[in-house]
Structure formats: C-alpha cells, structure tokens
Structure 1
Amino acid sequence: AYRLPELQPWISKLRRADFSHINVFFVASTPGSHKGVDVDKWGHARLGSLLKRHVQITPKSGSPPPTWQIIAQCSSIGSLGPQPTAWFCGEIKTTMSGGMG
C-alpha cells in the first residue's frame, strides 16, 4: 500500500520532517490475551509500562499532587464487568497509576 504513487509526496515530506522534539508514545492494541514477554507490548498494559518508566506519580517534596487527564477508548468495555467500580478500581486503576495501585 505504501508504494502507491498518490502517497509518495506525503512519504517524502514525512522523511524530511524532524521528529526529534516529539515526546509522546503511541499505544496500540491488538485482540486477545497477552502473557509472558508480550504482556507489556499492547493496550493498557503497555500504557502502564510507559507510565511506570516515564512519569513521576508521587509529588516532589513541597509540591502539590500532580493532576492530568487521561482519555481512554475501549471497544470491549462491557467485557470488563457489570459495574465500573469493579474494573476501574482494579486492573485499570493500577495501569493508569503506573503500577502504583
């Protein structure tokens, strides 16, 4: 698909772009359950891994607690459980807090 002539001008522009100052992560998801070495490669487990490595959750001494907004999309949210408190206060809360619980 990337060899389409219509895409070549865009591919050329992207190759010339300087992305060195971009400080974001793309978190992809793929269907299924992931275990072992693949557990932190996809979905919310990947998000938790990135937050744990790159975000300081606890405030620095004398600083107010950090606040930020996280927006998540989940196509299978109904499979997480009947009550939001059941799934949010467990696995998802742990993920969003970088494993801090």
Structure 2
Amino acid sequence: MRADETNYLQITEVDYEGDQFLTLGLAQFDSEAECVAAYDGVAEVDEDPNAPREYKIDRFSGLARVDEKFIASATVVELLRCDLIHLHDQAAAALDHEVSDYLRTADAE
C-alpha cells in the first residue's frame, strides 16, 4: 500500500502542562469508508481550555489530516484497552527514544 492510499485514525494526548503531543495509538483501515465509519462512531466532547491534558482523534487520508475532534479520556481507555498512565508512559518513552536517535544521528554527521 502506498502512503497516499493510507487511511488511519490516530489518538493523541495533548499535554498542556508538559507542552507535548503524544501519539497513544493508531488504527489503519483498508478503505476511506471504513476509516470514516470508525471515526464517526467515536463521540466528540467539547475542548476544555482549563484542562491540563486532553485527548483527540485525528482522521488521516494519505499524509493529510482531514478531520479531528476531542474525545473523552474514558473513550481513549475503551478504544485502546489500556489505562492512560501506561499509554502516556509508553508514548513519552517512544518520543524520548526517537529524539535521542535523531540527536545521535545528527551528531555523527
């Protein structure tokens, strides 16, 4: 499958206190129709400007984000079948690893 044919959903934690966006999970679909149906099946919540953290789901078609909405933390737990602390810790560790690899590669050049 080519990248421009990819349809997927991405769940992101928006950590306002830590000033981070952490990808908690992805779901890839064979068709745009399946992806849209899954996206439409997730309930939206209002953005809370006072929240230290929020969660959102983005719908991608190819390399472009085409839709996004905020979702409840309970919805994240239900969709990813894992508690938020574990998801946050995994995503933060993956980001740290990615940054370390990038810096190590940049230093070697």
Select the structure of larger CA radius of gyration.
1
Q: Which has the higher strand share?
A: 2
TM-score (structure 2 length as normaliser): 0.22
